[in-house]
Amino acid sequence: MPRLTIITVNFNHLDGLLRTIESVVNQTFTDYEWIVVDGGSTDGSRELLEQYKNHFAWWCSEPDTGVYNAMNKGLSHAAGEYVNFMNSGDMFATPIILEEIFSKRHTASVLYGLMMRENINGVVFHPSMMKPNLRWFDFFNCTLCHQSTFTKREMFEKYGSFDESFRAYADWRHFAQMIAIGKESTEFIPKKISIYEGGGISETDDVLCRNELMRIRADVYPNISDEEYRDLQKFDLVYRLRFSTFCIKILCRINAKIIRIKHRYGEFI
């Protein structure tokens, strides 16, 4: 069994696909399998994949119903211990990053690290989720970046594949199910793992994204309000800064709320 399965999905994004291919084939780490799922592109992507097919454990170029349908198709052929989704246009940050990560054994269900945004001087993206300790309520308003995340394949067997009724945030829902509800173990990798191209549906369709976020909140946090979430953030801040219990009560003024929410959702400190 390879240590890692890399899954790349693509549709009519020839230039981005080439960047991703070059990023993967230049990795010094070799204990991985690579699965590429193309949605039946007509821009030359299929011809490019034909050139690199010897690098793939499995690939196809055929119509699909969307990005998560393609990602699930790739999952159905995955055999690695961990799975990473590096879709066309996105890249690993350096040629040695996989070797640096997998030079030692990991036991956590989810490994995650830093992601940079392309074309803005390598600025780290979503810094609120790039921290050593994740709280269950962190997923109320943000999620991990799948380009910089490695998930044990057995987690997809335990929690199922991506919900294809989502068009933008199925991975967000999956991470929330695993970590916020399932309390699966995580390990923070304090390294820049990937470079995100941007411009996908999660950045261009605000109405869709808002609706899908509301679905996730209703599923994962069925009774929590925006106000309670803000209270939890404040509590987490003063807790991490090691203020006394008295200061927590004074600064947050939410101790009774915290107790009620704790009983509702379980341990979070």
Same domain, 189 and 239: no
Same domain, 238 and 118: no
CB 238 within 8 Å of CB 248: yes
Same domain, 126 and 259: no
Cβ neighbours of residue 13 closer than 8 Å, sequence gap 6 or more? 41, 43, 45, 88, 89
The structure tokens listed for 189 are 């990798």
Same domain, 78 and 103: yes
Same domain, 215 and 88: yes
Same domain, 234 and 106: no
Max CA pair span of the chain: 65
3-state helix, strand, coil in the chain (%, to 5): 45, 20, 35
Angle 117-119-125 from CA coordinates, rounded to 5°? 15
Q: 91: number of CA atoms within 13 Å, CB side?
A: 24
pTM: 0.85
Distance CA 90, CA 173 (A): 21
Same domain, 163 and 256: no
Same domain, 246 and 150: no
- Report the CATH number at residue 46: 3.90.550.10
Packed helices 226-240 and 245-252: angle between N→C axes, nearest 10 degrees: 150
Q: Which residue has the tokens 């304090």?
A: 190
Q: 216: number of CA atoms within 13 Å, CB side?
A: 30
Q: What are the residue ranges in the chain where pLDDT is below 70?
A: 118-128, 199-205, 232-269
The structure tokens listed for 230 are 């803000």
Task: With CA atoms as reference, report the closest residue to 100 among 195, 205, 189.
Answer: 189
CB 58 within 8 Å of CB 35: yes
- Please report the pLDDT score of residue 138 as a whole number: 83
What is the number of domains present in the chain? 2
Same domain, 207 and 243: no
Same domain, 151 and 249: no
Same domain, 156 and 29: yes
Task: With CA atoms as reference, report the closest residue to 173 among 133, 221, 129.
Answer: 221
Same domain, 90 and 157: yes
Domain that holds residue 156: 4-220
Q: Which residue has the tokens 């040629």?
A: 95
